[in-house]
Amino acid sequence: MGDKLTQSVAQAANHLAHADRVACLTGAGISAESGIPTFRGTGGIWEGLAVEQVATPEAFAENPQLVWRFYQARRAALLPVKPNRGHAALVTMANLCPRFTLITQNVDGLHHKAGSTGVLCLHGDIWIDRCDGCGWRTRATGLCDRLGHCSACGQPLRPGVVWFGETLPQGVLERAVEACTTAQVMVVVGTSSVIQPAASLAHWAREAGATIIEVNPERTALSGDAHVVINAPAGEVLPGLVQLWASAPRRRPG
Ligand code: BJW
Ligand code: ZN
């Protein structure tokens, strides 16, 4: 590790050691080291289509079969995937902190697979099939290339994720806002911080007095407003950060 990186990790560990309320927001970057492509890193994540072209209610209305195949391909790619050292470090973080809230924009279920509990999934879960007609929903049990239809009302089934222009699952954003605006420290990992309302959480946390720590190998829309920026891949730095936090003398605010 370079001097600057070592210093920012030490700074971050020091902030965390002084906190008993911590919120963490993750994005696609935390799963990158598990082999899942990010959305905006490589320019188009499926058959040359950007997520903005398929992850909308309009795209589904126009071509439900295409959108269905997109999500089936994503599900298939997820089957062999395992959580990485970044996901594992966040499980340990939760054990180090009396009030730790993990919030994710990811729909891949890898935090859950790693052992995190109570995760607030802002953008839903790719393994849910649901019907917009009558609200019926179920957990998908396998892959099926053919578009399914609701057995209750006949509408085409869609994945249980949040598309552009849709509101976030009821109550989830509210709980995330509460966690972020009451946290003393917020850690933001692996997100370009451009998609709303998730991107605003760190700003609301900062306005409410939290110290913002960003972990990302690239500069993002948030970097200028973060108090500590750790420019490195999550799987490489989070385990060390957690170790430092665990060994730091605890001087919590009264
Ligand atoms: C690493 C790494 C490593 C690499 N370690 N890091 C206010 C202003 C303007 C627009 C809006 C607004 N409010 C709402 C909107 C509209 C819209 C929006 O935000 N548009 C933007 C284009 C501006 N938002 C919405 O529509 C949201 N709904 C909403 O607000 O409802 C109310 C409302 C409706 C209508 C109008 C107004 C209000 C819903 C957003 C849903 C987003 N859904 C998606 C798809 C989910 C399903 C699926 O997976 O297919 O969610 S889009 C996609 O982007 C996905 C992600 O969760 C999300 C965020 O992406 P993320 O995680 O940041 O990924 P990347 O690829 O961008 O970044 C990865 C980062 O990792 C990079 O920085 C790398 O450097 C880094 N990285 N390797 C650490 N090893
Ligand atoms: Zn239905």
Counting ligand 1 atoms within 8 A of each CB, the residue from 31, 33, 34, 39 with the most, and so the one to mutate, is: 39
117 plus 135 within the same structural domain: no
Regarding the beta carbon of 188 and ligand 1, being less than 6 Å apart is answered no
Averaged pLDDT, 23-33: 97
- Same domain for 92 and 52, yes or no, is no
Claim to verify: residue 139 and residue 241 sit in the same structural domain = no
| Burial of residue 171 (number of CB atoms within 10 Å: 0-12, 13-18, 19+) | exposed
Answer yes or no: do 201 and 242 share one domain. Answer: yes
Q: Which residues surround ligand 2, an ion (CB under 5 A)?
A: 131, 133-134, 136, 150, 152-153, 155
In whole angstroms, give the CA distance from residue 46 to residue 119.
27
**Do residues 150 and 70 both lie within one domain?**
yes
In this prediction, residue 8 has a pLDDT band, given cuts at 50, 70 and 90, of: very high
| Residue 47 and residue 135 in one domain | yes
Residue 50's pLDDT is what? 84
Burial of 117 (0-12, 13-18, 19+ CB in 10 A): exposed
Q: 116 with 137, same domain?
A: no
Domain assignment present for residue 253? The answer is no
Q: Which ligand is nearest to the CA of 45?
A: 1
For residues 145 and 230, membership in a common domain is answered with no
Q: What is the number of domains present in the chain?
A: 2
Q: Is the pLDDT of residue 205 over 70?
A: yes
243 and 149 assigned to the same domain: no
Mean pLDDT across the stretch 193-215? 98
Give the Å distance between the CA of 133 and the centre of ligand 2. 5
Return the pLDDT at 214. 98
Q: How far apart are CA 151 and CA 16, in angstroms?
A: 50
Q: Does pTM top 0.95 for this prediction? A: yes
- Which residue segment(s) compose the domain that 60 sits in? 42-80+131-161
Residue range 45-60: mean pLDDT, rounded: 86
pLDDT at 249: 80
Q: What are the catalytic residues?
A: 123
Same domain, 76 and 87: no
| Domain end among 161, 176, 210 | 161
Kindly state the tokens that stand for 149: 């239809």
* Protein residue with its CA nearest to atom 72 in ligand 1: 192
Residue 254 falls inside a structural domain: no
Mean of pLDDT values over 195-206: 98
Amino acid at site 101: T
Distance CA 183, CA 17 (A): 13
Greater confidence (162 vs 251) lies with 162
Confidence (pLDDT) at 252 = 55
**Residue 47, domain member (yes or no):** yes
Range with lowest mean pLDDT among 5-14, 120-129, 136-145:
136-145
Residue 254 reports pLDDT greater than 50:
no
Q: Distance between CA atoms of 217 and 229, rounded to whole angstroms?
A: 9
Which atom of ligand 1 is found nearest the CA of 86?
Answer: 5
